[in-house]
Amino acid sequence: MPNPTDAAQSIAELPRADYTPGARGPLTGLRVIDLSRLVAGNLLTQHLADFGADVIKVEPREGDTLRGWRTKNVETNWKAHSRNKRSLCIEFRHDKAVALIRKLVPGAAMLIESFRPGTLEQMGLPPEELLQLEPRLVIVRISGWGQTGPYHRRPGFGTLVEGFSGFAEMNGFPDREPVLPPMYLADSLSGLTGAFAAMAALREVEVNGGQGQVLDLPLLDPIVNSLGPQAANYRLNGKVKPRSGSRSSGSVPRNVYRTLDDGWVCLSASTQGMAMRVLRSIGRPELCDDPRFKTNEQRLIHVVELDKIIGDFIATRTVEDNVAFFEAAEVTIGPVNDTVRLMNDRHVQARRLLADYPDEDMGSFPMHAVPVRLSGTPGSIRTPAPRLGEHTRAVLAEAGLSEEEIDETLGSGLAKETTR
């Protein structure tokens, strides 16, 4: 098997997928106004759009900041997270911008924003007035630290939250510096959490007869929630969890191990039976009765010794051979993939986890599928990410503007239109 870090690896052709513009999802008919910028809001509305919601992305004249995160001048982040949406481009500094946004609110189910707390009020769009325009509206307010509290006015990028939350301090190796995640972890967790919370609030409106409401969604809270019972553990033992690399503080063995072909595999034996199976499979059944390794408590103490024994065994085989060997022994193991190996993997291809979609910039764009698969009303990728202002005219017409008013709006510089 090739070295997973070898840039010369060939990439197998991904399954070809076509956009399915006529597909209907369970959220069809749900209109969402997305005023957010960057990642968390775009991920939140991507999840809704994938299942059929009509997401109107309201962008400033320079476009969502996410459009600027490019690779070789291609808007890869935008394309991945703004599929299935429509773009309305407005000059936010125009004196009639707020009045135009207000026209979008009646009939909308949700409004998503990620301005610094207080900005929506300063713009002239306070939540209480939005709820007067549409009493059933679910308003999601994304920020770094929340709408209240001593830090609520601080800039709220995910990096700051990932450090503040305790995640970075827990991540990495004990003899090295804390490690920030290499992707937008806090934003991703907030996007998922926000989509769930927005749907919960929508159910209150549609099923329980309730009213619209405001959802306070900081980037901080979901990532703290994901770290588990760290506060309780500290109260019990008086110790802050140290960085442990890829080891687990709860069960042993669990680590990544280098293979003969300079790849890596990850092995986890989180039950007593699995740990014993590992020892027997590597030809060391006597270690099952060794006091150092007989119980999980003792294995945690002697983790360095046990990791060396297992690592020495794994180092004599390639990634592929290790996976085959341990799977035959019913031990939980898997390869540590890079992007190329993931794209080439037969399971990923069979399930179309990634597929090549038609793209005007790249010819084909490898895009992740809808991450949850419903058996009756599945999500789908119906349209590519929109050009800036691609749907301005259509959205304004749906908001009640006549053709003359739309022409006047475009001519005044209040709105911008782009066609494909």
Known catalytic residues are 187
Question: What are the phi and psi torsion angles at 126 (to 5°)?
Answer: -65, 145
30 alpha carbon, distance to own chain's centre: 22
Q: How far apart are CA 262 and CA 165, in angstroms?
A: 34
59: helix, strand or coil? strand
- DSSP annotation of 373 reads -
- Rg of the chain over CA atoms, in angstroms? 25
> What counts of helices (H) and strands (E) characterise the chain?
18, 12
**C-beta atoms surrounding 328 within 10 Å:** 9
Q: How far apart are CA 90 and CA 111, in angstroms?
A: 16
Q: Which residues on neighbouring strands pair with residue 378, listed in sequence order?
A: none
Question: What are the phi and psi torsion angles at 182 (to 5°)?
Answer: -85, 5
CB 50 within 8 A of CB 370: yes
Side-chain-facing half-sphere of 108: CA atoms under 13 Å: 29
Q: How far apart are CA 317 and CA 415, in angstroms?
A: 62
110 alpha carbon, distance to own chain's centre: 20
Beta strands in 198-317 (DSSP E): 213-218, 254-258, 264-268
H-assigned helices in 249-355: 272-281, 296-301, 303-314, 319-328, 339-344, 346-350
Structure tokens, 386: 């929109």
Letter string b/e over residues 305-326, b meaning 16 or more CB atoms within 10 A of that residue's CB: ebbebbbebbeebbbebbbebb
Cis peptide before 378 (omega within 30 of 0): no
